[in-house]
Structure 1
Amino acid sequence: MRRFVWTFFILLFAAFVSAGEPQSLTNVPSRVQTPKPLTEGGVVLTFDDRNFQDWIQALPLLDEFGVQATFFISGKIDGPALKAIQKLHAHGHAIGSHSVNHLKAVEYFEENSAETFLRREITPQLNEFQVAGVAAVCFAYPMSRNNAVTDEALLKVFRHLRTGKSIAANERLSEQDAFFVPAAKIAEQGCLPGKGIDFAPTRPDRTYEQIDGAFDRAAKNNEIIVLYAHRIAESGNGNFITPEALTRILQSAKQRGLRFYTFNDLP
């Protein structure tokens, strides 16, 4: 009987200690159940970094159009992040990883290793996401720095990655095949290039004409296009899109019958 009691307390103590330790990457359930294949073209709207106040203030605008977006959060999942996640979740939005320190993955992989990047930039955030009840199935590269090596390593953890791609001022967005993926084949595309819409429509690669043309193509061909921005504000420092411009873009997509998907919706 005494041996049984001591064994019970030893096991209880071990469980208590292990519960307080950070979990390894392999123990973090970063994937949720894979959604069903998609058949309709649409838009994947995403926002980056830690612009919590802007994002929360824009929730009524997104609700007005029935739009659910994906918010890629960088840094620690601390008190402000947790409050924002709760509000974003309550409105049906998805949460993704944007790394702990917002480092350039390609350069970090070259100077260190994939294992070190995962241990420093991914594992801690996924552990904190798990505590917050978030299963992050997607990752957005800081500063869109990716290559085949970084993709291979990160696709072992996430279902989809997002990078960014630019076009020249004289190019037509609707003619750039890299931005468009047939809805039925989205599961085959691990890393998706997104088109920036900060400062729309004041730059030649993101005028309303450019964006409307892209939406026309996506609607016609049942393709999916990914867009990304940062702040949602009338003005200020850094990258931002105004509420007026965002409203115009949402209206354009809705007028063409395009659905809005989150990264969690993508198989």
Structure 2
Amino acid sequence: MTEAPNPTVRIALVAITKHGAAQVAALARALPEAEVCVAAKFADAMAGLTSPVLAYSGAFKDEIAGLFQRFDQIVFFVSLGAVVRLIAPHMKSKDEDPGVVVVDDAGQFVIPVLSGHVGGANAMAEQVAELLQATPVLTTASDVGKTIPVDILGRELGWRVEAPKLNITRVSAAVVNQEPVAFVQEAGSPHWWTRPTPLPANIHRFDRFEEVDLARFAAVLWVTHAEVPEAQWQQLNEKLVVYRPPVEAAQ
């Protein structure tokens, strides 16, 4: 079972058709912390909800900028192609964009479209799919391969990632391509692997950085409070990602 949505996350449920509005109303009852955005002519279908309702009367495309500014997660009961065209002019980067999720008209599939990892759309899709008894369609390689999501590893434990973006890209590729990867944990909670499947065989655990034969590994994930000298960054040349757990979580 997936965890309940974080109440501090600002969620919008959006529909532009009568059928979509009915699905939004049903989902809003299960996600009372979410806000609802529907065409004004379907506002009556939202009667009885505790969720705030935005009933727009103009062109729907004019609502997108405001949705992007106000919400962390936007769940569209709108066709995938239409959503892609609508959000394209407003996309900035995965560090800034909200998570965007699309639910098909039959309520059978839930698809994260934008900001799957960093923006949380993958997690949102899984939560919505569970509530709708639908199938989440995850396409990010680490989720499909059930391996380490390098860019957000330990985020729920308060870990901060420390590495140039190019390092994250290169190390992520090594992880999903099943190349040998050293995972060195000198600090932080040991409960970082939360998938129900075993840790992939290409991930090798170590307690100390000094134990790692760097020639054997395509990448190193290092969880530590220690200062990482510039020489070590240079030595690994785009193969290192460092994680900084909260000090109180040190083992």
Indicate whether the TM-score tops 0.5: no
Higher relative contact order (CA 8 A, sep 6+): 1
TM-score relative to the length of structure 2: 0.27
Q: Which has the higher strand share?
A: 2
Tell me the TM-score normalized by structure 1: 0.26
